[in-house]
């Protein structure tokens, strides 16, 4: 994990958890959509980067659709599991340019780095305990 991403994670842990499950779902779909659009736009010129973008977008979309939270289509995983999956997707996002050998494309690498930074910040600012508290009140 790059130093800037570690710094973002540490900073986000110290800030108040201001992102609720509904807002998190919207942000998940925005991030997934941005990856899918980027993959389509660069398909002809940068095939490896496009594949990485489609993997990231598809993973983010599947994670959002299968989560038991507002915006989930077929709730199969818990909100806490969703958080762990988000972290894994952010990790792949930041390492994809090196893993798939397209880091020489400066703009594409920057897209992946910014996306990973945003994913890390969203994870750090999300209140993943809010859903657990709501479940305990209902039960």
Domain of 62?
Answer: 21-129
Number of domains, the chain? 1
Any domain includes 115: yes
As a whole number of angstroms, the distance between CA 101 and CA 13 comes to 32
Over residues 90-134, the pLDDT tens digits come to 999 999 999 999 988 899 999 999 999 999 989 988 988 865 555
Any domain includes 1: no
pTM over 0.85: no
As a whole number of angstroms, the distance between CA 93 and CA 63 comes to 15
DSSP state of 67: B
Over residues 10-33, the pLDDT tens digits come to 766 667 778 999 999 999 999 999
């Amino acid at each position: 994990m790059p130093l800037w991403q570690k710094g973002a994670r540490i900073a986000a842990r110290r800030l108040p958890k201001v992102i609720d499950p509904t807002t998190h779902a919207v942000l998940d779909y925005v991030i997934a959509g941005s990856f899918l659009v980027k993959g389509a736009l660069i398909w002809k010129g940068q095939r490896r980067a496009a594949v990485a973008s489609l993997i990231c977008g598809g993973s983010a979309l599947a994670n959002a659709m299968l989560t038991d939270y507002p915006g989930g289509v077929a709730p199969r995983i818990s909100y806490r599991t969703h958080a762990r999956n988000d972290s894994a997707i952010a990790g792949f996002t930041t390492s994809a340019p090196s893993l798939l050998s397209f880091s020489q494309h400066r703009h594409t690498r920057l897209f992946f780095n910014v996306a990973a930074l945003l994913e890390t910040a969203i994870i750090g600012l999300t209140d993943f305990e809010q859903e657990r508290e709501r479940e305990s009140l209902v039960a």
